[in-house]
Chains A and B, each alone.
Chain A
Amino acid sequence: DTEVTQTPKHLVMGMTNKKSLKCEQHMGHRAMYWYKQKAKKPPELMFVYSYEKLSINESVPSRFSPECPNSSLLNLHLHALQPEDSALYLCASSQDSLLGQKLTDTQYFGPGTRLTVL
């Protein structure tokens, strides 16, 4: 099973709304990631959690707030977003390798949440 699931599939929200994106994996992976992808652009890393601790924050604005309640779940809380935040938000997980020289570093992506901010 190499499945990462994300909900919702689509989300439309106003600039004053608060919403959350959810991601789940049951592969026993210990590293989980949030990416943002605009049309025809590559995924841009936002956050990385390793063993449920925030490992990387790529200077993401505070209106995006990640949370890792347990090793299988990753949330992204959204508040006071801007229209330019509209994008595909991808979650990924990998088995975890601090040496980064193994196939276990392969990231498996979820189907993404298509977010539109009005």
Chain B
Amino acid sequence: GQNIDQPTEMTATEGAIVQINCTYQTSGFNGLFWYQQHAGEAPTFLSYNVLDGLEEKGRFSSFLSRSKGYSYLLLKELQMKDSASYLCAVRPYTGGFKTIFGAGTRLFVKA
């Protein structure tokens, strides 16, 4: 079966660094995505990892360890606009187009 775990909520201070963890168990693995979703809006793509290691994109970085079934999203120099839900999503290798989303981590950035 598929299972994705993320913390429900996190709070951090403007200008700080925050790490959002994601662990997963899937039947096969075909890539891990991170999406940002502001309340009432659609998810927007942040990053994609399929090989082990760190992918950096500006203030956002995502790390993957396939052997541990573990990923994290790192946000640096936090801004108030980063307050949102962050969804970890996994594509199991079923030969199709299915993507399983975690419940999301609600991040609150305070001044």
Residues of A near any B CB (own CB < 8 A):
31, 33, 40-45, 48, 50, 55-56, 88, 90, 94, 96, 98-101, 103, 105-112, 114
Are A42 and B104 within 8 A (Cβ)?
A: yes
Bound state CA distance, A56 and B42, in angstroms? 21
Given contacts A55-B96, A56-B97, 11 further A-B contacts (CB under 8 A): A42-B101, A43-B87, A43-B101, A90-B43, A100-B91, A100-B95, A105-B91, A107-B33, A107-B99, A109-B43, A109-B44
Q: Which of A42, A98, A107 contacts B95 (CB 8 A)?
A: A98
Candidate in B35, B95, B99 with the most chain A CB atoms within 10 angstroms: B99
Evaluate contact between B42 and A111: CB separation under 8 angstroms. yes
* A residues near B95, Cβ cutoff 8 Å: 98, 100
- Say if the beta carbon of B50 comes within 8 Å of chain A: yes
Q: Which residues of A contact B44 (CB under 8 A)?
A: 109
**Nearest 6 CB-CB pairs, A to B?**
A42-B101, A109-B42, A100-B30, A48-B97, A109-B43, A111-B42
The answer to whether B50 and A101 touch across the interface, beta carbons within 8 angstroms, is yes
CA distance A55 to B98 in the complex (A): 10
In the complex, residue of chain B having the shortest beta-carbon distance to the beta carbon of A91: B42
Q: How far is the CA of A31 from the CA of B42 in the complex (A)?
A: 18
Q: How large is the interface on B (under 10, 10 to 19, 20 to 34, 35 or more residues)?
A: 20 to 34
Q: If the complex has contacts A42-B102, A48-B96, A98-B95, are A110 and B42 also in contact, measured as CB distance less than 8 A?
A: yes
CA distance A51 to B35 in the complex (A): 25
Closest chain A CB from B25 CB (angstroms): 16
A55 touches B48 (CB 8 A): no
Name the contact of A56 in the complex, choosing from B98, B101, B104 (C-beta under 8 A): B98
Of A96, A100, A112, which one neighbours B31 at CB under 8 angstroms?
A: A100
Given A42-B103, A105-B91, A111-B41, does the pair A48, B48 have CB atoms closer than 8 Å?
no
Q: Within the assembled complex, what's the spacing in Å between the Cα atoms of A31 and B96?
A: 10
* Cβ distance B46 to chain A, nearest Cβ, rounded Å: 10
Quick one: closest A residue to B43, CB to CB? A109
Question: In the complex, how many angstroms separate the beta carbon of B104 from the nearest chain A beta carbon?
Answer: 6
Which residues on A sit within 8 Å (CB–CB) of B98? 45, 48, 56
Report Cα–Cα, A107/B106, bound state, in Å: 21
